[in-house]
Amino acid sequence: MLNKIICGAESISAVVGKCVAWLTLVMMLLTCLIVVLRYGLGIGSIALQESVLYMHAMVFMLGAAYTFKDDEHVRVDVLYRDFSPRKKAWVNILGGLFFLLPFCAYTAYMSIDYVAASWRVLETSQEPGGLPFVYLLKTLIPIMMALLIIQGIADILKSLGVVFNKSQLTEAQ
């Protein structure tokens, strides 16, 4: 049962992460196009520039859970790297329960009014010729937090499995 929950959560992170990863290629191509248009042809486009910013936000915010799933996130591991797998699992459990999940839940909760206000007015760019989708961009905040909560729960469950299996091995010996 727990394996199904973990696999389901991690598959969500993997699918979203892999889809969003393709945006980096699109961003690079679009940035090249912007440079050619601006400096080669003297044509500027605020909408194109903002679209690169939107894609960058999507890569960062929607890719965070995928990065966390693969344990590629930033970690100050001065002590952690020398810990046994069981100690690492305990650090992951406690960090998830006391830092990650509360932070994500609080941030998601605090962003609701902010995002709702943007949706009420269908907020657009303040720049002339900018994109009319600022409300969608702001919606990434609670989505990011939800994805991190899902992945955080999966990580806590995996770490509990490490702790549980280690204790079974110790008892058997």
Note the pTM of the prediction, 2 decimals. 0.84
The pLDDT value given to residue 51: 95
> Would you give the DSSP letter of residue 41?
S
Whole-angstrom distance, CA of residue 75 vs CA of residue 29:
31
Whole-angstrom distance, CA of residue 30 vs CA of residue 36:
10
Whole-angstrom distance, CA of residue 36 vs CA of residue 8:
43
The three-state secondary structure class of 50 is helix
Q: Name the phi and psi angles at 41, rounded to 5.
A: -115, -5
> Would you give the DSSP letter of residue 74?
-
The stretches in the chain having pLDDT less than 70 are 166-173
The pLDDT value given to residue 167: 43
Alpha-helical (H) ranges within the chain are: 2-35, 46-69, 85-95, 101-120, 134-172
Task: Give the Cα-Cα-Cα angle 17, 22, 24 (nearest 5 degrees).
Answer: 100
